[in-house]
Structure 1
Amino acid sequence: MSDEDIMLTAGDAEATVQPGNGGRVGGLRVGGLELLRQGDRFGCFPMVPWCGRTRNGEFRDGAAVHRMPLNSPPHAIHGTARDGAWRTARVSADEAVITYDLVEPWPYPGRITQVVGLTEDSLTLTMSVETYGSSFPAQIGWHPWFNRNLAGADARLDFRAAWQEERGEDHLPTGRRIEVTPGPWDDCFGMPDGVGVTVEWPGRLELTVRSPEKWVVVYDEQEAAVCVEPQTGPPNGLNTHPRLVTPLEPLEATTTWSWRRA
Structure 2
Amino acid sequence: MSNEPITLTAGDAEATVLPGNGGRVGGLRVGGVELLRQGDRYGCFPMAPWCGRIREGRFRDGATVHQMPLNSPPHAIHGFVRDAAWRTARVTPAEAVLTCDLTDPWPYPGLVTQQIALTEDALTLTMSVETYESSFPAQLGWHPWFNRTLGDGAGVTIAFDAAWQEERGADHLPTGERVDPRPGPWDDCFGMPDGVDVTLTWPERLELTVTSPERWVVVYDEQEAAVCVEPQTGPPNGLNTAPRLVTPLEPLEATTTWRWRRL
Normalized against structure 2, the TM-score is what?
A: 0.99
Q: Is the 8 A contact 1:21 1:40 kept in 2?
A: no
- The residue number in structure 2 matching 1:208 is 209
Distance in 2, Cα, partners of 1:16 & 1:217: 24
- The residue number in structure 2 matching 1:10 is 10
**Matched residues, percent identical?**
80
2:134 alignment partner AA: S
Q: Is the 8 A contact 2:41 2:145 kept in 1?
A: no
2:228 alignment partner AA: C
Give the C-alpha shift of residue 40 in structure 1.
5.1
How many residues of Structure 1 are paired with residues of Structure 2 in the alignment? 262
Q: Is the 8 A contact 1:111 1:132 kept in 2?
A: no
Gaps in structure 1 of 5+ consecutive residues: none
Q: Is the 8 A contact 1:59 1:238 kept in 2?
A: yes
Distance in 2, Cα, partners of 1:168 & 1:153: 32
2:29 alignment partner AA: R
Give the C-alpha shift of residue 42 in structure 1.
1.6
- The residue number in structure 1 matching 2:170 is 169
2:57 alignment partner AA: G
2:149 alignment partner AA: N
2:176 alignment partner AA: G
Normalized against structure 1, the TM-score is what?
A: 0.99
1:260 alignment partner AA: R
- The residue number in structure 1 matching 2:53 is 53
Distance in 2, Cα, partners of 1:76 & 1:101: 19
Distance in 2, Cα, partners of 1:35 & 1:108: 36
Q: Is the 8 A contact 2:164 2:191 kept in 1?
A: yes
Distance in 2, Cα, partners of 1:38 & 1:129: 28
- The residue number in structure 2 matching 1:157 is 158
Give the C-alpha shift of residue 243 in structure 1.
0.2
2:148 alignment partner AA: R
- The residue number in structure 2 matching 1:244 is 245
Gaps in structure 2 of 5+ consecutive residues: none
1:221 alignment partner AA: E
Q: Is the 8 A contact 2:148 2:156 kept in 1?
A: yes
> 1:96-245 counterparts in 2 under 5 A?
96-151=96-151, 152-245=153-246
Give the C-alpha shift of residue 132 in structure 1.
3.0
